[in-house]
Amino acid sequence: MAGFNQRLRFLRYSPGQFFRKHCDGNYHDPESGHISYYTLQLYLNDIPPEQGGSTRFWGPRIPAAVVLCPT
């Protein structure tokens, strides 16, 4: 790992907000030639799973999803 890319983001969702189904892409830094390959997601809250705050990881070719609720 060489570092974090310049597109580092911090998000805060209010009740009812969500991020639609999507695929994270990589980022190519034209100056250094570095390419990002990974996404790191941290939950900085203490919301119980029954109140939301979960993440769904969709498979590439299957309709099922894996749902993770941080504990």
Q: What is the C-alpha to C-alpha distance for residues 39 and 19, in angstroms, rounded to an integer?
A: 15
What's the number of domains the chain is made of? 1
Number of alpha carbons in the 13 Å side-chain half-sphere of residue 26 = 9
Q: Has residue 12 been placed in a domain?
A: no
**Is the entire prediction scored with pTM above 0.85?**
no
- Residue 64 covered by a domain: yes
42-67 pLDDT per residue, tens: 888 777 767 777 787 776 666 666 66
Residue 1 lies in a domain: no
**Per-residue pLDDT at 64:** 62
What's the confidence (pLDDT) of residue 71?
59
Residue 56, φ and ψ in degrees, nearest 5: -105, 125
Domain range for 56 is: 41-70
Could you give the C-alpha distances from 14 to 11, 41, 43, in angstroms and in order? 10, 17, 14
**Tens digits of per-residue pLDDT, 4-29?**
777 778 888 888 888 888 778 888 88
